[in-house]
Structure 1
Amino acid sequence: MFSDCVFWVKGDMIEVNGQEFMLGELSATCMNITPKEYEEIYGLYQSAKQVLDKEYNEKSAQWAMDMVGNWDEAEFDADNLTDEPELEYTPPSKEEWQKLNDILLQLCSILLQHKIFQVLADPNYVKILEQFKNITDNMLTPETWKIYVETAQAMEPIINDIYNFNKTIYYFVTDNIMHLKKCDPENYAAAYFDFINAPNAYKKIANPLTDPYMSYDFTDNLDMNLVPRETAEGSGEYIIAEYYHAKRLQPLLKVDFFKGLMVGHQIRRCLNCNRFFIVKGGYKTKYCDMPSPENPKRTCNQIAFAKKKPKEKNADNPKYQSYQRCIARLTKSCQRGAVTEDEKRTLSAKAEELYHTAMTSPEFTNEEFEQQLCSANLYKLCGITPPKKGRPGKKNDQ
């Protein structure tokens, strides 16, 4: 679907193909490819690989047999071994090629359901495959088959890297990140150190010993430059952005994920739907704000809110914490006479109304709800002028 990728890291954002995302967001979408879905992806490509590699496998086997047959230990010269046979790229039958192309189109369809591949995919890749929906006799040439094979084989490292990253980071998130007492960049880094140096790390990190042909690399080959760039096109504000050029999916995912951790974006696993999601800040949020599989009109957070007891459901709920801070702020304002009891009741009722709306509809993120409850907005909604604080240097009750 792509042979290389260029991306930028700007502060807490990553830009890929002209689109910006929070750091960690794209790697979370990759991690939401479930093991069952990956088995289907891997199985389909292995079926395709049997056709793509048929000539290579046959000629390699014959080459190996010839080498053994001509073996002469006394005259063995490792520097002058016969090169592996050159491929003639003999095309398969029309029926076989047609079936192969259907498999590859099905693979593309599955991968393109996930945001990361919608962003990364070369639009010409699928167009090339669609040209082979109906194989004709004039297509059955070595030149055409060679181009097709090289195009199709670009998918293999992508499929391998999905496994390499997802398996490794799944264990890191579920066994380490989600059990931290304090969620901050320093503890994320320490947790990763503990993870990769644990005695049983080889069981959790993709490697050739436990997963043939797979490898989570600790050293990645990618180009990186520091370039001054506008924070947004036409903004006139500049930062030193990090420019990356990678030839594999794995380096992009790791830069996105670990850079995200270092700016406080953690990936957590929803206890309701088991999907991975991004949390900004040190919240130990248990449920995501994505539509719940059991009721798409409500988020997993809202489903959990309806199921759990008040103390259980509110302890780690960012929206509830924002609501409580707002009520505490209003109580203090009333105690020092900045607002009357009637005004406090009006403001508290509006805050409760906003809280109920945020918890029962999927449209508000945690950050948007926090902004709704800020004093400037809340007082305005109630038609009340924000009072001045009695402390020096503070003008508004915010």
Structure 2
Amino acid sequence: MSRVNEADRFDEEHLLPIALEVFGSVPFPVTTEYVPIKKASRSKTTTLARRLYFDSYYSFVMTGFFEGLHYGHYPRRCDICKKYFLMTSAARQKYCTGYAPFKLKGKAITCRKYAARINRKELAAGNPVIRIYKNRCSVLRMERKRGTVTEEFAATALDLAKERMQQAKEDTEYANSQYESDMSREKLYTEVDKQLK
């Protein structure tokens, strides 16, 4: 899946066409049923669960891959160990959390830590969630300095921007779909106006 780096953005919209081109339209039959199960072994209440049955191992692997893609777990090749791993956030991670093929002072070290030691650390600039947040905060501080917004307005807007950034870090789907729009000047300021009324 080395072609994954061709995607403009790491989201379902941009990765799905590449995945379909790589894997083609080979069918992988799956039977689905919905069953009630207990939330925990001692629980008295039940919840609805989806049970999948696969005709082949290939069907199992392909379903897992496309389900992962749908939920924001995108494949990426680690720049250090060259193994594939699944990204679980909107950041364009370059390194996996597995062990590097090199040792540091005779001890095993993770790829991420090894990259940091050789000055190839992942920077916030590579994380679109952080970059958008920092840009918005910078503009807000500048407007507060110029007096185009009040201190109270700027403080409220900065708090709201931080909330949205934290939500995007925890929720990949939100980060890939709504976050950038919610952090736009127009939407953020409209929401702050509502809060301050």
TM-score, reference length from structure 2: 0.55
Supply the AA of the counterpart residue of 2:117: A
- The equivalent residue for 2:21 is 194
Which residue in the other structure is 1:42 paired with?
none
Q: Does 1:283 align with 2:88?
A: no
Counterpart for residue 392 of structure 1: 193
What SS does structure 2 have at the residue aligned with 1:245?
strand
More relative contact order, 1 or 2 (CA 8 Å, 6+ apart): 1
The residue aligned with 1:303 is: 114
**What SS does structure 1 have at the residue aligned with 2:192?**
coil
Q: Tell me if 1:227 matches 2:44.
A: no
The letter of the residue matching 2:151 is G
Query: Are the aligned partners of 2:125 and 2:131 in contact in 1 as well (CA < 8 Å)?
Result: no
Alpha-carbon spacing, 1:227–1:333, altered in 2? closer, same or farther (3 Å): farther
Alignment partner, residue 337 of structure 1: 151
- Distance in 1, matches of 2:44 and 2:137, equals 35
Assess if the C-alpha contact under 8 Å between 1:178 and 1:284 holds in 2. Answer: no
Give 1:325 deviation, angstroms.
3.1
Distance 1:328 1:305 in 2: 27
Matches within 5 A, 1:35-114: none
Q: Distance in 1 between matches of 2:53 and 2:13?
A: 27
Gapped runs of 5+ residues in structure 2? Answer: 145-149, 153-168, 171-190
- Write out per-residue CA displacement over residues 342-377 of structure 1, whole angstroms, 9 at most, x where no aligned residue: xxxxxxxxxxxxxxxxxxxxxxxxx58xxxxxxxxx
Of structures 1 and 2, the larger Rg is shown by 1
Q: Report the residue type matching 2:97 in the other structure.
A: D
Q: By how many angstroms is 1:277 displaced?
A: 1.5
Q: How many residues align?
A: 154
Matches of residues 1-398 of structure 1 in structure 2 within 5 Å? Answer: 173-175=1-3, 177-196=4-23, 218-228=26-36, 232-233=39-40, 234=43, 238-239=47-48, 241-246=49-54, 248-294=56-102, 295=104, 298-308=109-119, 313-314=122-123, 317-318=126-127, 322=130, 325=133, 329=137, 332=140, 335=144, 336-337=150-151, 391-394=192-195
Write the letter of the residue equivalent to 1:314.
L
Q: As a proportion of its length, which structure holds more strand? A: 2
Q: CA deviation at 1:309?
A: 6.2
Structure 2 CA distance, aligned partners of 1:316 and 1:289? 20
Give the aligned residue type for 1:280.
T
Tell me the equivalent position of 2:184: none
> Residue 27 of structure 2 aligns to a residue in which SS?
coil
Contact 1:185 / 1:264 at 8 angstroms: preserved in 2? yes
1:260: how far off?
A: 0.8
The runs of 5 or more residues in structure 1 that have no matched partner are: 1-172, 198-216, 339-366, 369-389
